[in-house]
Amino acid sequence: MKPVYAKTPLTIPQQVEHLQQRGLHIPDAARAHLVLRRVGLYRLKGFLLPYKTPAGYVPGTSFADAERLMKLDEALRLHVLGAMQTVEVGVRQAIVQWMLERHGLRWYAEPIHFHEPNEYFDHTEFLSKVTEEFSRMPELFVGHYRERYDLDVPPPIWMIAETMSLGGWSKLFAALRSQEDRDGIAGLLGVRASTFTSWLHALTVVRNVCAHQSRLYDRVFATMGVADNKRVRRRLLEQSFDPRDTEARRLAPRLYALHRLTQALNPECAWTADLMGVVAGYSAAEVVRLGFRPGWNAQPEWTTVGTGH
């Protein structure tokens, strides 16, 4: 039988003392009190993982090192959420418009367009959920629709689209029965359908991490597709990504997916250039925890629009 977790909670001063006993240099205890009261010991210790040893922390590690990485983490989360605004709307529009033009304004309600139910997607459950969520929306257009139109007939897809999250679109895209439809939608964004499926799933996880203010820095994710072009994939693995990240489980491959999608949706977007600014000033040892190798930001995959297509 496993033991019950029963460590004694520590007061803020005790937390500072605990960190000092582990070898963390804290020259300003009052500032440490303020930070710990704001973010908590458990969260702070997550940013100290790169400096952790069996005996404590690497000699010379200071409280400021953790604060520095928390600042990077916050900047990354905000920057990723900025890209998500473009990607979520763009992905939604690509799927909606492609299917709308070929299958009509209520294609989402027709089981023929989807695979048989499985553990990831059940069309009956999906349809029930999105129509219920639509009916509860407080927006004026929903009230207008309820007053004027037959509620026994599902509303047009562009209204339902407003209720769905990126995770919902990820599952819906993967469940589309027609390979032609999947290829056509993904092609609008410059990727193959299999890669697009992988990216949507991976980016949904990243989005949720950011939305819940969880730690993005030094995080390990599930594996994902790097790129659908073998030449580009090889160059990314050889020149951009940490060679130890053989299964693309760090943040860097997900940032590459955001780079590709934001550029496909808006070639004038400066998101990638701004990303380079976010990590500028941090050491190679700090940036490698994101899954990058030194010099990644000078590679053509990140600096030339369209090289991944």
What pLDDT score was predicted for residue 307? 44
Tokens 């953790």 correspond to 66
Per-residue pLDDT, 305: 58
* Per-residue pLDDT, 128: 93
pLDDT tens over the chain, length 309 residues: 899 988 889 999 999 999 999 999 999 999 999 999 999 999 999 999 999 999 999 999 999 999 999 999 999 999 999 999 999 999 999 999 999 999 999 999 999 999 999 999 999 999 999 988 887 777 777 777 777 787 778 889 988 898 899 999 999 999 999 999 999 999 999 999 999 999 999 999 999 999 999 999 999 999 999 988 889 999 999 999 999 998 999 999 999 999 999 999 999 999 999 999 999 999 999 999 999 999 999 999 998 755 444
Instruction: State residue 309's pLDDT score.
Output: 41
